[in-house]
Amino acid sequence: MDEESQRIGAWRRLLADQLESLRRAGVEQMAVRQTAAPPAACPRDGNGTAAPPRANEPRANEPRANEPRANEPRANEPRANEPCSERGRERGAADDVGTAVVAALPDAGAGNVHRGETADGMGLGQSLDRLRREVESCARCPELVRNRTRTVFGVGTPRTRLCLLGEAPGADEDRIGEPFVGRAGELLNKMIAACTLRREDLYILNVLKCRPPDNRTPEPNEVENCRPYLERQLDILRPEFICCLGAVAAQSLLRTTTPVGKLRGVVHAWKEAKVIVTYHPAYLLRSPNQKRAAWDDLQLLMAQMGISVPHSQPG
Ligand code: SF4
């Protein structure tokens, strides 16, 4: 092995060690930015010029589909002058370190799944669209299929930190095809605004994608039938936080029979996501005296998300 090859090998081992230590520190994703990479680790053609990108490969400094541009925060991620959680600060610092490593070792992270892609390499939007089409043709629950106008898949930005999980579509949702659009949806919008968030920056979905007749509670077998869709949807979205609205959402996701009253006030976990439980807006319309408790839940959620807590309570 000549001296140049040995030098290249040493560089690669050093960078691989750095990358591995970042992985062990919990860094799952890193923005790839073109930086001054060591010449030995930079892919070059025979003339010493930078090799062109492969077909379908984004050029340096060009974001992938659905990927925010450099310095652009993800939806509902605290901005520069907003408070952020310790976890967020640590991740930001690690990203800065990791950027240089990954830029210098372009193939080293090939096994990682970028947040903007799913395991099969599809963009989030594409993956959701494919799942949506499956749901639209689903006939697993004959009674629901007979009565539904349309399936209600979910709405919002795929690149979100927070998913709001409800129970099932009601009459308005069944007619329009979007979750939480009736009176309960209006209250949910107020709850979202009180958290200083915007509905369009979240993702809202239900446990069931089809409306139960007369808005009855979903049957256990219907929840089980639809669960694979819910799990796949959440696996694509990979939110940091899930807020369960009501008993069906909380008990289905967490696979428990514990009442909502006892699930509230605790940070649960579903896969990598932190889960907060609160009351369903439709229940709050019937029981306005519980709004204070729901506001406590939202404040817990905001604290977990690193959002400074406003003092006003939604009406
Ligand atoms: S509720 Fe879910 S599982 Fe049942 S028919 Fe609708 S989409 Fe299919």
From 74, 104, 134, give the residue that closes a domain.
104
Q: Is residue 313 part of a domain?
A: no
145 lines ligand 1 (CB under 6 A): yes
In a domain, 202, yes or no: yes
Q: What is the CATH number of the domain that holds 241?
A: 3.40.470.10
**What SS3 string covers the chain?**
CCHHHHHHHHHHHHHHHHHHHHHHCCCCCCCCCCCCCCHHHCCECCCCCECCCCCCCCCCCCCCCCCCCCCCCCECCCCCCCCCCHHHHHHHHHHHHHHHHHHHCCCCCCCCCCCCECCCCCEHHHHHHHHHHHHHCCCCCHHHHHHCCCCCCCEECCCECEEEEECCCCHHHHHHCCCCCCHHHHHHHHHHHHCCCCHHHCEEEECCCCCCHHHCCCCHHHHHHHHHHHHHHHHHHCCCEEEEECHHHHHHHHCCCCCHHHHCCCCEEECCEEEEEECCHHHHHHCHHHHHHHHHHHHHHHHHHCCCCCCCCCC
Q: Based on the fold, state whether residues 134 and 72 are members of the same structural domain.
A: no
**Do 92 and 136 sit in the same domain of this protein?**
no
Output the pLDDT for position 122. 72
Tens digits of pLDDT across the chain (315 residues): 566 666 666 666 655 555 554 554 444 454 444 433 443 333 333 333 333 333 343 333 443 333 443 444 455 554 444 443 433 333 333 333 233 322 222 233 333 344 555 655 578 899 999 999 999 999 999 999 999 999 999 999 999 999 999 999 999 999 999 999 999 999 999 999 999 999 999 999 999 999 999 999 999 999 999 999 999 999 999 999 999 999 999 999 999 999 999 999 999 999 999 999 999 999 999 999 999 999 999 999 999 999 987 766 656
Any domain includes 112: no
Q: Is 116 a member of any domain?
A: no
Residue 315 lies inside a defined structural domain of this protein? no
One domain, residues 132 and 277: yes
In the prediction, which pLDDT does 69 show? 39
Q: Are residues 263 and 129 in the same domain?
A: yes
**Residues 203 and 257 grouped into a single domain:** yes
Q: Which of 144, 146, 152, 224 to mutate to test the pocket of ligand 1 (most atoms within 8 A of CB)?
A: 144
Q: Quick check: is 115 in a domain? A: no
Structural domain includes residue 113:
no
| pLDDT score for 40 | 39
Query: In the listed set 76, 104, 132, which residue is the last one of a domain according to the structure?
Result: 104
- Residues 54, 130, single domain; the answer is no
Is residue 177 in some structural domain?
yes
Is residue 49 located within the same domain as residue 152?
no
Give the pLDDT score at 309.
75
- Of 208, 217, 229, the residue with max ligand 1 atoms within 8 A of its CB, to mutate for a pocket test, comes to 208
Give the nearest ligand 1 atom to 135 CA: 7
Instruction: Kindly state if the Cβ of 209 falls inside 6 Å of ligand 1.
Output: yes
Residue 19 shares a structural domain with residue 149: no
- Pair 210, 301 in one domain: yes
pLDDT at 112: 38
**Together in a domain, 246 and 129:** yes
Pair 56, 128 in one domain: no
Residue 241 sits in which domain range? 124-305
- What is the pLDDT, as a whole number, of residue 7? 66
In the prediction, which pLDDT does 123 show? Answer: 87
Q: What is the pLDDT of residue 215?
A: 92
Q: Are residue 282 and residue 179 in the same domain, yes or no?
A: yes
User: What pLDDT shows up at residue 312?
Assistant: 64
Query: Into how many domains does the chain fold?
Result: 2
Q: Say what the pLDDT of residue 60 is.
A: 39
Among the candidates 104, 139, 165, a domain finishes at 104
